[in-house]
Amino acid sequence: MEQKHLLIVDGMALLFRSFFASAAMNQFIRLEDGTPSNGVQGFARHVMTAETLFQPTHLAICWDMGAHTFRNELFDGYKANRPAPPEEMLPQFDMAKEVSTLLGWTNFGVVGMEADDAIGSMVAKWKDEAKITVISGDRDLLQLLNPMTTIALTKKGYTEYNMYTEQLFVEEYGITPPQFAEVKAFMGDASDGYPGIKGIGPKTALQLIQTYGSIEGVLANIDALKPAQRTKILADTDMLHMSHRLATIHCEMDIALQLEDLRRKLYTTEHAQMLEQKGYRLIAKHARSLGVL
């Protein structure tokens, strides 16, 4: 019986990573009409390389669908301080989805939700049907680890990852993966714009959850804490709960797709021709170098 292996790609993470890796050297790899394509071409090459490394039977690319999500409704400051994407990147969001479709990859995203939520919902839906590998640069996804799911955090180039299994995570952090969102609730996340408990950093946040198991466990033992910690937490309990809601990946999205809809397709010379006609020659060249075209 076939062992199904679903590769879920955080499209936003790879697109941003690819864009900034080359934009820093002013290499925008423009198409004939002048449109920058560096992020798109890097993103596609990264995914193709991942296919050869992980040999999945199924593949999905998850995307944010706009900057405004349900988390902005919960908290005005959510991601409020993030700079707007550079002008050269703006056309590449749609271009990346177009290239994905051209190559037979399934794009998935829902307006009002983040790519993380799409990934989490896919993991929840198919964790009993397939081995799952998630590619991203976002450590928040570690809360999704389970016995059938591995998180591959981008490290260097297209081939190096920090591979996290549930067992490795428990050994390294001393908590279970779902408890990671509770750690984040205490320490906050400057990049996502929620403060957690001011004055409590990652080390203390982790120690609190290791010791008391949960936010409710900490609050139930508040008198056992150091006076300074007690004061900080009691002053910001509402924000603590809000930060937990913001940090928790929503895993209950309705996914109309079936697992078989995500089955990988073989590449053909037609794919190469379409890529080259549209100006994506680096992707076609990379595919040939991998031996998939």
Indicate if 254 and 243 belong to the same structural domain: no
**Count of structural domains within the chain:** 2
Cβ contact 185:217 at 8 Å: no
* CATH number of the CATH domain containing 183: 1.10.150.20
Indicate if 203 and 267 belong to the same structural domain: no
Length of the chain: 293
Indicate if 125 and 12 belong to the same structural domain: yes
Hey, which residues does 149 pair with through a beta bridge?
Answer: 132, 146
In whole angstroms, what is the distance from residue 149 CA to residue 125 CA? 12
Domain hosting 23: range is 5-166+250-290
Q: In what order do the strands lie in the sheet with 58-62?
A: 106-108, 58-62, 5-10, 131-136, 149-156, 160-164
Q: pLDDT for 119-168, tens place per residue?
A: 999 999 999 999 999 999 999 999 999 999 999 999 999 999 999 999 99
Q: pLDDT for 209-246, tens place per residue?
A: 999 999 999 999 999 999 999 999 999 999 999 999 99
* CATH number of the CATH domain containing 62: 3.40.50.1010
Indicate if 54 and 107 belong to the same structural domain: yes
pLDDT at residue 259 above 90?
A: yes
Query: pTM (2 decimals)?
Result: 0.96
Indicate if 160 and 231 belong to the same structural domain: no
Three-state SS at 21? helix
Indicate if 234 and 149 belong to the same structural domain: no
Indicate if 130 and 203 belong to the same structural domain: no
Cβ contact 179:170 at 8 Å: no
Indicate if 87 and 34 belong to the same structural domain: yes
Cβ contact 184:243 at 8 Å: yes
> Would you give the end-to-end CA distance of the chain in angstroms?
28
Indicate if 102 and 207 belong to the same structural domain: no
Indicate if 181 and 267 belong to the same structural domain: no
Q: Which of 68, 116, 99, 73 is nearest to 249 (CA)?
A: 116
The one-letter amino acid at 137: G
Indicate if 106 and 36 belong to the same structural domain: yes
Q: pLDDT for 5-26, tens place per residue?
A: 999 999 999 999 999 999 988 8
